Chain A
Amino acid sequence: MNISVMIGALPDLLGGVALTTELVALALLVGFVIALSTALARLSGVAVLRWLATAYVFTFRGTPLLVQIFLIYYGLSQFAFVRDSVAWVVLKQPFWCTLMALALNTGAYTAEVFRGGILSVPHNQIEAARAIGMSPVTAFRRIIWPLAIRQALPAYGNEMILMVKASSLASTVTLMDITGVAQTLAADTYMPIEIFTAAALVYLCLTYAMTQAIHFFERRLDVTRRRS
C-alpha cells in the first residue's frame, strides 16, 4: 500500500465530491416531491391514480438503477421526435439524465416509506382533526404529516444513504463523480488498490456525515426528549 499515492489522489477525488453531492442533493429534493405525491396517490380514493402510482413503484423498484439510467440517457435518443423536441437540450446531457433516473428511483422507494409512515398515524387522530373542523389539507399538514415523517425518518434516512451509494452509477455515463474520477486515476496510475481505497474512504466520510445529520434530525423530531 502506497500512502503517498492515496494522498496525491485526494484533491482529484474531492473534486468528484462536488458532483456527487450535487447529484445526491438534487435527486433527494426532486425525489421527495415525487415520493410524497406518489404516496398520496397510492392512498387516494381515485382508482386510476392508485393504479398508476402502484405501477410506477413496482417498475422502478423491480429494475436495476443502471438499466434506468441507460434507458433515459441512451434509450430516449432512439426516437427522432425526442431528438427534435426542445427537451433534447436537457436529455442529451448525462448529468440531467442521471439526475432524472436517480430522482425517479429514490422517489419510488421513498414513496413506500412515506406510505408506511402515513398509514401508521392512528385513525382517531385524523377523526379528531376532522371533528374540530380542520379541512383535509390542514389535517394533513398539521396532524398526519408531522406524525408520519417522525415514523418514517429512520427508513427515509437509510434511503438517503443508499442514494449517496447509488450516485456512483453516474460514472457509467461518463460523469466525473467520485467513482468516475477514481476510475480515471486508477487507469492512469496503475495503482487500483490505493485509488479505490481512497475513494472508498471518501464515500465512508460522506455516508458517515449523512448518518450523523439524520440522527440529529431524529433527535430534534423526538418530542419525548425535547422537554427534558
Chain B
Amino acid sequence: MFDLYGFGHLLFEGTLVTIELSLAALVCGLVLGLAGAAMKLSGLWPLRLLAGIYTAVIRGVPELVVILFIYYGGVILLNKFAHSLGYVGYINVNAFTAGVTALSLTFGAYATEVFRGAIAAVPANQIEAARAIGMRPRTIFRRILLPQVWRFALPGLGNIFLIIIKETALVSVIGLDELMRKADLAVGYTKKPFTFFLFAACIYLSMTAVAMLFQRGLERRANRGVAGRPMA
C-alpha cells in the first residue's frame, strides 16, 4: 500500500522510540497522579495548595511550551541546582529525558483529577466499616480503596493515555528521533511529505487502537464480579 523508498526500517525504529516514550510517561505519570491525588486529599493545606498549583498550571499551559521549557530551561535549572550542591561538572539532559519528564507531568496532572474523583467515588461507609472492624489505614488503602479506585479510574486513565500517545509527536520538536522526526527525515530525502506523514498517521492510529483494546480488556478484568455493569 505504501512505497516507503527504503525508509521502512527508519520508521520502525522511530515507532519503537514513540512506544518507549509513551510507556515511560505512563508509568511515571501514574506515580505522579497518585501522589497528586493524595496531596489534594490530605489534611495539610500546603500540600493541597502545591498540588492545586501543579494541576492548574499544567492544564492551562500548552504541552509544547512545557516541553520547550523543560528541554531548554530544565538543563539550566538542573545545573544550577547541582552546582549549589557542590557538583562541578556539567549535566546534559537529552531529548528523551526531557520528553518523558514533560509528558509525565502532563499525564500526572490529568491523572491527579481522575484519581481524586475515583477515591471520592468509594462510599464513605465502606471506609468506616473497615475501620470499625479494626483495619489499619494502610490495610484499608490496599484492600478496600485501591481495588475500587482502580476500577473507577480506568476509563479516565485510558483516555489520558490515548492523549499522551498522540502528544509524543510533539517531542520531535526538540529533536528526539521518534516516529514523527524519522518521517520528517524521510521527507527531507524523498520529497514525499504526504506519503510519509500519512504513513505516520496510520501508525499512530493503530497504536491508539491497540491501546483502546488493551484498556477494554483491563476494564473487563477490573469489573469482574460487579453486578449491573455492562461488560461491553
Contacts and interface: CB of A to CB of B under 8 A. Distances in A.
Interface of A: 58-59, 62-68, 70-71, 74-79, 161, 164-169, 171-172, 179, 182-183, 186, 192-193, 196-197, 199-200, 203-204, 207-208
B187 interface: yes
A64 B56 CA distance: 23
**Residue among B64, B72, B204, B208 with max Cβ neighbours from chain A (10 Å):** B64
Contact of A75 (B59, B66, B193): B193
Interface in B172-224: 172-173, 180, 184, 187, 191-195, 197-198, 200-201, 204-205, 208-209
Contacts of B169: 64, 66-67
Contacts of A79: 194
A71 B64 CA distance: 19
Interface string B67-107: 01100110011000000000000000000000000000000
A169 B65 contact: no
A20 to B, nearest CB: 10
Contact of A204 (B61, B184, B191, B204): B61
B61 A200 contact: yes
Interface SS of chain B: helix
Contacts of A197: 69, 73
B180 A66 contact: yes
B5 to A, nearest CB: 13
A58 B209 CA distance: 10
Interface SS of chain A: helix
Contact of A168 (B64, B77, B180, B208): B64
B198 A71 contact: yes
Contact of A203 (B62, B77, B197): B62
B189 to A, nearest CB: 14
A113 to B, nearest CB: 13
B61 A78 contact: no
B166 A192 contact: no
**Interface size class, chain B:** 35 or more
Given A63-B205, A64-B169, A79-B194, 4 more contacts: A64-B180, A192-B76, A197-B69, A203-B62
A66 B170 CA distance: 7
Contacts, number: 120
**Residue among A63, A78, A193 with max Cβ neighbours from chain B (10 Å):** A63
B20 interface: no
A70 B196 CA distance: 10
Contacts of A63: 166, 201, 204-205, 208
**Residue among B59, B65, B73 with max Cβ neighbours from chain A (10 Å):** B65
B231 interface: no
A199 B65 contact: yes
A67 B180 contact: yes
A164 B59 CA distance: 11
Given A70-B193, A78-B193, A62 B205 contact: yes
B121 interface: no
Contact of B193 (A59, A77, A186): A77
